[in-house]
Amino acid sequence: MKRVLVPALLAALVVGIGAPSASDDMGEAARAGQWQLGVLRLPEAWRTSRGAGVVVAVLDTGVNGRHPDLAGAVLQGPDLTGTTRGPWGQHGTAMASLIAGRGHGDGRGLIGVAPAAKVLSVRVTLENGDPLREQRRPRGGDALAKGIRYAVDHGADVISMSLGGGSGSWEGSASEEEAVQYAIGKGAVLVASSGNDGDTGNRKNFPAAYPGVIAVGAVDRDLRVARFSNRQDYLSVAAPGTEIVTADGADSYVVGDGTSSAAALVAGIAALIKAAHPEMSPYHVRRAIEEGTRKRPADGYSSAYGHGVVNALLALRAADRLDVPAPVVPAPVTYFGDGPIPPSRLPVVAGMLTLAVAMSAGVIVRHRRRDRDVT
């Protein structure tokens, strides 16, 4: 996520949460800046689902559960980066607030897409500004693969990986792809950012490019694809990703751009669907998200928009259509011997039985005649 400050919100958001009046003003400004709430039709979607009972694993730089808008929402998992030095948790906290932010008062603070969901924090990468990023692989030795498996084995229903644009990898790995398939096989929905170099290199980005992962691009307030959003043929959908207000550290907010934010919002929509349809497969959750889009490309798909711009309400409606009970198959009946006679053979069998009865009658008559002769 590119960390920027929009002038209209600058005065309110650069102040940390301190005195009650400053906190109130900043919290109200943060809520007012969440333009994506209306675009995604979240107030209407929340009448059906708020993500209760769902765990969303945030595989990122760590999540600071002390932020007022995340109080009670964060489950702390392991740090798989191999280091505890340097800045910690800014990016991960930002993403968690978009997924499961709960606000901290009447109309104040950030509300996530799935405010009743839980967030499982698994640290798999370092902050962009951390000097150690230049000295080691971005995710260490198989940190992402280990993080995916840990998340699934510890109850994650959805896995959010906002690792695009430098935090992710331009080359995949066998261990990561195997972990992705393991997670999907266990019923987890995986979401990842498409990357932030669409206006320069537009490189293939992992984990977004792994089969089965919902890859997300970014759009602006006018639902136009952001210049930085990577355009690839594996893109699934697009979501708001410019001028997005997020939690910052333990006590403030920041406004930023990036496909990271877009992916976190889609992970929240996946949580809404899983809460409403707990047994729905990752494949059908993805279909619901893709079918429940607006601004769909004329031919149904494009490398810039994917299947269109996500919409939480429409995705939930699509999930309702897709979650059709399987047809009831009668239990097999066990027969002794050769089983029942197929209907197509009944006339033949009936004829054979009639012939057998007639022959038996003839034998009986002949026996009686022979008895008379002997007598």
Q: What is the pLDDT of residue 340?
A: 53
Q: Are 168 and 205 in contact (CB under 8 A)?
A: yes
Active-site positions?
Answer: 60, 91, 260
Q: Which residue would you say has higher pLDDT here, 337 or 8?
A: 337
pLDDT tens column, 77-110: 999 998 866 678 999 999 999 999 999 988 889 9
Q: Which residue would you say has higher pLDDT here, 330 or 358?
A: 330
Q: What is the pLDDT of residue 107?
A: 84
Contacts of 137 (CB under 8 A, 6+ apart): none
pLDDT bin (cut points 50, 70, 90) of residue 336 is very low
User: Does residue 337 surpass a pLDDT of 80?
Assistant: no
User: Does residue 299 surpass a pLDDT of 70?
Assistant: yes
Q: Are 61 and 127 in contact (CB under 8 A)?
A: yes
Pure H helices in 14-121:
20-32, 36-39, 42-45, 90-100
Q: Region 270-283: what's the mean pLDDT?
A: 98
Q: What is the pLDDT of residue 136?
A: 53
Closest to 163 in 3D by CA, of 264, 307, 88, 233: 264
User: Does residue 342 surpass a pLDDT of 70?
Assistant: no
pLDDT tens column, 105-155: 888 899 999 999 999 999 999 887 776 765 555 445 699 999 999 999 999
Q: What is the pLDDT of residue 251?
A: 76
Mean pLDDT computed over every residue of the chain = 84
Q: Region 248-254: what's the mean pLDDT?
A: 84
pLDDT bin (cut points 50, 70, 90) of residue 335 is very low
pLDDT bin (cut points 50, 70, 90) of residue 273 is very high
Going by their DSSP bridges, the two strands 55-60 and 158-161 should be labelled as parallel
Q: What angle do CA 328, 332, 338 make, to 5 degrees?
A: 150
Q: What is the pLDDT of residue 325?
A: 73
